[in-house]
Amino acid sequence: MVSAQLRLKGHTSRTGLRKGYCMGGEASVVTRFAPSPTGFLHIGGARTALFNWLHARHHGGRFLLRIEDTDRARSTPEATQAILDGLRWLGLDWDGEAVSQFSRAERHAEAAKMMLEAGAAYRCYATQEEIEAFRAEAKAAGRPPLFVSPWRDADPATVRDAPFVVRLKAPRTGETVVEDLVQGRIAWANETLDDLVLLRSDGTPTYMLAVVVDDHDMGITHVIRGDDHLTNAARQTLIYRALGWEVPQFAHIPLIHGPDGAKLSKRHGALGLEAYAAMGFVPEAMRNYLARLGWSHGDAEFFTTEQAIEWFSIDKVGKAPARFDLKRLENLSGQHIRAMADPDLLRELEAFAAREHGRQFTDAEREALLKAMPGMKERSKTLVELLEMGRFILGKRPFEPDGKAAKVLDEGAVAMLAKLTEHLQDASWTAPELEAEVRRFAEAEGLSLGKVAQPVRVALCGRTVSPSVFEMMEVIGRDESLARLRDRIGAAA
C-alpha cells in the first residue's frame, strides 16, 4: 500500500478549529472518523468511516480524521499507518490533517479544570482498593455496582496530599436523553449513570473527556459511530452539559457481525482492509458493499460512489446488526469490474500486480491487456481472477499445463493440434476469422468445436480457464500463437 504521512497534528487553539459553521446561518455538517491505533482498519471501522464520509459529502460538509492515541501502551505508529493506508485505499479522503488526540492532553486537562472550578467535577481520592471493595460489597448486597465516591460531596476546598482522579459530578436524579438519528429517542435514568473519571491520577485525560473536548473543538456536528458507544453518548452528554457546550447530533450505527451472527472475529470477517485489497476486491465495490450493509435506497443494489453520496441519508440506516457476506461482496466486485472503463481497470490491475506481486507491466503488455480487457473482465470477479485471465499475456513460453489442463492434452488432442497448426499457418489472423477457420476444421474432422478449442486453450495459456481462444490468438499474434501450439506438439513428441 502507499505509504502515508505520519505527521499528526495536535490542535491547541480552539478558535482555529471552529470553522465548521458557514455564513448562511445554517450550520454546515462536520463529521469525523476517530479510530484508536491499536490494530488494522477492520471492516466495521471502515464502514463507520464510510458513513461519516458519505454523510459529510452528501451535505457538502467536512470529514475529519482524529487518531485516538491516548492509550500510550497500546497505540502504535504502525497501526496509525495501517489505518491511513486503509482509508486511502478505500478512497475516503479526509479534510485537513489527521489530529492526534494525545497531543491535545493539555487542552483536555484545561476542560477538566473548568468543570472543577464550576463545581461540575470533583477530586476523588478513593484508591483502587477502596473502589474494588465498594463494588464487591454492592454486588454481594444485590445493589448496582456503580461506584459512589465519598468525595463527591466533600468540601471542594479540602485538598489532600495524595493521588486523585477528577470525576464528573453527574446528576443523581432526572434522566438523560439522547436523540439519536439512527436509534431514536433513548432515555437513561440518571441514577444508572456513574461519576465517570475525567482525569486519571497521573493527570492524563480519559477517552470520555477527550472525545467530548475534541469533538467540540473540531466543530463536529454529527457523531456517527458504532452502537457500542450508545451508552457513552449519555455519559458524554453529561460532560457537554457540565461544560456548557452544545451537544452534537448522534448517530449510532449497528455493528457488523460475522456470517454466524456472532461478533466479528478474526476467524471470519475481521480482517484488515488490506486483506480484502489482497483478495483483489476493487475499492468501488467495497464502498458499494459496505454502504449497502445496513443502509438501503429502495431497490438499488449496485451503485456508484457518486450515487451513494447523492442518495445517502443517515436516518435510513437500519438498527439491526448486519452479517458480513463474502459471496455478496464477490458478486458486487464482479459487477463493478465489468462496469469499469478498460483503461481504469487496467490501472487498477497494474496497481494490484505491483502491490501484491511486485510485478510491473511493459508497454507491450499494457497494450495487449487493454485489447484483451473486454474478454477478460467479463470473466473476473476480483483482480486476482483478472490477473489470472491475463496470464496468456503476462506469462512466457513455454506454458506448462497445470494438472487439469494436462488431462485435456491426450494423444489424440496433440495429433489434432498438429493438424490444426498446419491449417492455421496461412489463416487470416483476426478473432472472427480464426473462429470461422477453426469451426471449418472441426467440422471437417468430425469433432465438436469444444474438442478442438479446449486443447488450443491449454496450449495458449496452460489452463482450462481463460478468455476466448480466438481473442487470445488475435491479441498475441500469429507467430506467438503458432509457437505455443508447437510447444505442446513438440513436448508430446
Partner RNA sequence: GGGCCCUUCGUCUAUCGGUUAGGACGCCAGAUUUUCAAUCUGGAAAGACGGGUUCGAUUCCCGUAGGGCCUGCCA
Cell for 482? Answer: 503458432
User: In the bound complex, what is the minimum distance in angstroms from residue 484's beta carbon to RNA?
Assistant: 15
User: In the bound complex, what is the minimum distance in angstroms from residue 196's beta carbon to RNA?
Assistant: 7
Chain-centre distance for alpha carbon 184 = 26
Residues 282 and 54 sit within 8 Å (Cβ to Cβ)? no
Residue with cell 465548521: 20
- Give the one residue of 61, 283, 321, 401 binding RNA; rule: CB under 7 A: 321
In angstroms, what CA-CA distances link 297 with 78, 302, 308?
Answer: 37, 10, 9
Which amino acid type is present at position 245?
W
184 touching RNA, by CB under 7 A = yes
Which residues make Cβ contacts (< 8 Å) with residue 171, sequence separation at least 6? Answer: 190, 238
User: In the bound complex, what is the minimum distance in angstroms from residue 87's beta carbon to RNA?
Assistant: 16
305 versus 466: smaller Cβ distance to RNA: 466
Phi/psi at 280 (5° precision): 90, 20
186 touching RNA, by CB under 7 A = yes
String of contacts with RNA for each residue 457-476, x by CB under 7 A: x------xxxxxxx------
User: In the bound complex, what is the minimum distance in angstroms from residue 144's beta carbon to RNA?
Assistant: 5
Residues 288 and 336 sit within 8 Å (Cβ to Cβ)? yes
Strand 121-124: give its sheet, edge to edge: 121-124, 165-168, 197-199
Residues 473 and 375 sit within 8 Å (Cβ to Cβ)? no
396 touching RNA, by CB under 7 A = no
Residues 80 and 69 sit within 8 Å (Cβ to Cβ)? yes
- Give the one residue of 57, 107, 292, 336 binding RNA; rule: CB under 7 A: 292
Residue with cell 491449454: 458
201 touching RNA, by CB under 7 A = yes
61 versus 70: smaller Cβ distance to RNA: 70
357 versus 404: smaller Cβ distance to RNA: 404
Site for RNA in 295-314 (CB under 7 A): 295-296, 298-299, 301
Specify burial of residue 298 (Cβ count, 10 A radius: 0-12, 13-18, 19+): exposed
70 touching RNA, by CB under 7 A = yes
68 touching RNA, by CB under 7 A = yes
- Give the one residue of 22, 189, 339, 406 binding RNA; rule: CB under 7 A: 189
Of 307, 301, 227, 280, residue with least CA distance to 44: 227
Site for RNA in 27-56 (CB under 7 A): 36
Site for RNA in 1-20 (CB under 7 A): none
User: In the bound complex, what is the minimum distance in angstroms from residue 100's beta carbon to RNA?
Assistant: 11
Other C-beta atoms closer than 10 Å to the C-beta of 179 total 14
Considering CB under 7 A, how many residues would be counted as binding RNA?
Answer: 88
Site for RNA in 350-379 (CB under 7 A): 378-379
- Give the one residue of 9, 172, 267, 316 binding RNA; rule: CB under 7 A: 316
105 touching RNA, by CB under 7 A = no
Site for RNA in 255-284 (CB under 7 A): 255, 257, 259, 261-263
17 versus 253: smaller Cβ distance to RNA: 253
61 versus 393: smaller Cβ distance to RNA: 393
User: In the bound complex, what is the minimum distance in angstroms from residue 362's beta carbon to RNA?
Assistant: 25
- Give the one residue of 77, 91, 156, 163 binding RNA; rule: CB under 7 A: 163
Residues 398 and 491 sit within 8 Å (Cβ to Cβ)? yes
Cell for 245? Answer: 457546550
Active site residue 266: yes
Chain-centre distance for alpha carbon 460 = 38
Q: Which helix (H) or strand (E) holds 447?
A: none
State how far the Cα of 431 lies from the Cα of 428, in Å rounded to an integer: 9
190 touching RNA, by CB under 7 A = no
Cell for 283? Answer: 475499492
145 touching RNA, by CB under 7 A = yes
**Catalytic choice (9, 266, 319, 407):** 266
User: In the bound complex, what is the minimum distance in angstroms from residue 104's beta carbon to RNA?
Assistant: 12
Which residues make Cβ contacts (< 8 Å) with residue 132, sequence separation at least 6? Answer: none
- Give the one residue of 334, 390, 401, 462 binding RNA; rule: CB under 7 A: 334
Task: Determine the 3-state secondary structure of 2 from DSSP.
Answer: coil
Site for RNA in 226-245 (CB under 7 A): 227-232
27 versus 447: smaller Cβ distance to RNA: 447
**Active site amino acids:** 266
